[in-house]
Amino acid sequence: MNKLKHIPLLVIIAGVIITCYGSWKIIDSHMKTNQSLEEAKKATEPVLEKNETKSAVQAQRKKEFHPETGEASGILEIPEIDAELPIVEGTDADDLAKGVGHYKDSYYPGDHGQIVLSGHRDTVFRRTGELKKGDRLNVILSYGTFSYKISRTKIVSRDDTSVITLQHKREELILTTCYPFSYIGNAPKRYIIYADPV
Q: Which residues are catalytic?
A: 120, 178
Looking at residue 168, what DSSP letter applies? Answer: -
Please state the φ and ψ torsions of residue 102, each to the nearest 5 degrees. Answer: -90, 120
Query: How many angstroms separate the Cα of 168 from the Cα of each of 21, 43, 136, 178?
Result: 43, 26, 22, 25
**CA atoms 77, 78, 84, 89: torsion sign:** negative
Q: How far apart (Å, rounded) are the C-alpha atoms in residues 87 and 4? A: 51
